[in-house]
Amino acid sequence: MKKKTETIPSSEITPKDLYLSRRKFLKAAGLLAGGAVLAACAPQLVQPPAGTDTPQANTSTPKPVITPFSRATSDELGDPLNSYKDITNYNNYYEFTTDKAGVAVLAKDFPTSPWDVQVTGLVHRPRTYSVDELIRKFAPEERVYRLRCVEAWSMVIPWLGFPLWKLLKEVEPTGNARYVRFETIYQPEKMPGQRIPLYPWPYQEGLRLDEAMHDLTILATGLYGGELPPQNGGGIRLVVPWKYGFKSIKAIVKIELTAEQPATLWSSVAPDEYGFYANVNPRVDHPRWSQRTERRIGEFGRRDTLLFNGYAEQVAQLYEGMDLRLYY
């Protein structure tokens, strides 16, 4: 494993004191419900649309209604967060539908808790973890990241998550491990898109081990201070902010350390359009459209796309010696 020296500590990305466990979060939510205690910290409070704020409970006790909040109002470049409504109602999730505005409705009753993730392959300590245990162990923190879809739209999203390296360190990759493979749940009875054999389900993705160990790479368990809605990849999803959104695989049930570069759904469907690396790069056009600019959801007009989605200072060293035009 390469030692990283130039990564930004999470404390510089977002406030240190927002390391909320789910339990602490519920407490905080209680405070919110009781009054305006945290209102000053949450100037852009957004009321979630009815029905999208409470992931379905397995019990008859309804979960408390959670008001999404974030201490941050913008990313580190000064651009405002997208609204909770945008983030949870404009989604790519082909297991449900290819209609971005239709995912939230179709995923509404998809059960995200309890949720288990198996960590396996070339590791000394293979294990299955529940997301609840991961949350207790690794205390998710807020990370405000840009998400840039290969389709040339983008958002700024306040995730709750923990760096993937913490989990990988715990399972101890063997000396032969060079890649990490991720697999989405396969549940065609609950995911209508998986009944259409157009894609080689289940969705799978992969990272090189040093990319996976980079401090910017997180497993997200929530957003806007609350739980991770099904349409955004609950129980748990990957977020790799310097790569096109399709690398950030949702609803992960398996993480496997491998010696060989794993197959990915998109690179097997269209290898010349969606490469394994998929680093955001305005200079490498998609075969069917330019990647020079993008549409920030909620804005008029277009803005320039940034190399590595604006994270070049932190991640460019991962690709030294690689011709970025060839590894798209």
Ligand X SMILES: Nc1nc2c(c(=O)[nH]1)N[C@H]1C(S)=C(S)[C@@H](COP(=O)(O)O)O[C@H]1N2
Describe the chain by its helix, strand, coil percentages, rounded to 5.
25, 25, 50
Residue 149, interface with Mo ion (CB under 5 A)?
yes
The reply on whether position 264 binds ligand X by CB under 6 A is: no
Rule CB under 6 A: is residue 245 a binding residue for ligand X?
yes
Query: Does 92 help bind Mo ion (rule: CB under 5 A)?
Result: yes
Q: Which region, left, alpha or beta, applies to residue 142 given φ > 0 means left and ψ of -120 to 50 means alpha?
A: beta
Distance, in Å, from the CA atom of 108 to the CA atom of 96, rounded to the nearest integer, reads 10
197 to 226, contacts with ligand X by CB under 6 A?
A: 203
The least distance separating ligand X from the CB of residue 252, rounded to whole angstroms, comes to 8
For residue 71, how far is the Cα from the chain centroid?
19
> Counting contacts by CB under 6 A, is residue 52 touching ligand X?
no
Q: By CB under 6 A, is residue 91 in contact with ligand X?
A: yes
Count residues binding Mo ion (CB under 5 A). 4
Is residue 246 at the binding interface for ligand X, with CB under 6 A as the rule?
yes
Is residue 112 a contact point for ligand X (CB under 6 A)? no
Using CB under 6 A as the binding rule, whether residue 251 contacts ligand X is answered as yes
What is the torsional sign of CA 279, 285, 288, 291? positive
The residue among 180 and 249 lying less far from ligand X, judged by its C-beta, is 249
DSSP, residue by residue, 92-111: -BTTTBS-TTTHHHHHTT--
Q: Give yes or no for residue 184 binding ligand X (CB under 6 A).
A: yes
Q: Give the one residue of 20, 32, 72, 249 binding ligand X; rule: CB under 6 A.
A: 249
Pick out residues in 226-245 that bind Mo ion (CB under 5 A). 245
Contacts of 76 (CB under 8 A, 6+ apart): 12, 13, 144
Burial class (CB in 10 A: 0-12, 13-18, 19+), 59: exposed
Site string for ligand X, 129-158 (x = CB under 6 A): ------------------x-x---------
Report the distance separating Cα 23 and Cα 70, nearest Å.
17
97 binds ligand X (CB under 6 A): no
Q: Which residues bind ligand X (CB under 6 A)?
A: 91-95, 147, 149, 184, 203, 232-233, 245-246, 248-251
Q: Which residues bind Mo ion (CB under 5 A)?
A: 92, 149, 245-246
